[in-house]
Amino acid sequence: GAVVSQHPSWVICKSGTSVKIECRSLDFQATTMFWYRQFPKQSLMLMATSNEGSKATYEQGVEKDKFLINHASLTLSTLTVTSAHPEDSSFYICSAPMNFWSSGPYNEQFFGPGTRLTVL
């Protein structure tokens, strides 16, 4: 099956610093990738849609200047948390879709293993 990787798997940083998280589709190309944030014991909340070759689309309430997304190639998207603060501590998960066909076209999402960010 399709594999999506994330790096790093965990990171601890000081308040005010920036952190970059990479999401890679290892064996398929993805013109679109999705970034989610998950707080402890809660569901995944979509933050933004990363689009290869164009600007990311952010969900309502997500600060685009704080969470910078760059879709550098068809297999790599990066999320940079700028000027991180303790409230940004969370589990960040990316996903990439592949197109399939059943009774009609649909997309199946493949998820990365997640990145645990802790801001001190």
Partner 1 sequence: AQSVTQLGSHVSVSEGALVLLRCNYSSSVPPYLFWYVQYPNQGLQLLLKYTSAATLVKGINGFEAEFKKSETSFHLTKPSAHMSDAAEYFCAVSDKFGNEKLTFGTGTRLTIIP
Binding mask 23-52 for partner 1 (x = CB under 8 A): ---------x-x------xxxx-x--x---
Binding mask 98-117 for partner 1 (x = CB under 8 A): --x-xxxxxxxx-xxxx-x-
Side chain identity at residue 29, one-letter code = Q
Quick one: 55 or 83, whose CB is closer to partner 1?
A: 55
CB of 96 to partner 1, least distance (A): 9
**Minimal CA–CA distance to 8: which of 59, 58, 79, 65?**
79
User: Could you give the 3-state DSSP secondary structure of residue 87?
Assistant: helix
Cα radius of gyration (the chain): 14
User: Which two tokens mark 115?
Assistant: 């990145």
Determine if 60 is a binding residue for partner 1 (CB under 8 A). Answer: no
User: Could you give the 3-state DSSP secondary structure of residue 86?
Assistant: helix
CB of 74 to partner 1, least distance (A): 15
The position carrying tokens 């952190």 is 19
Judged by the rule CB under 8 A, the positions of this chain that interact with partner 1 are 4, 6, 32, 34, 41-44, 46, 49, 91, 93, 95, 97, 100, 102-109, 111-114, 116
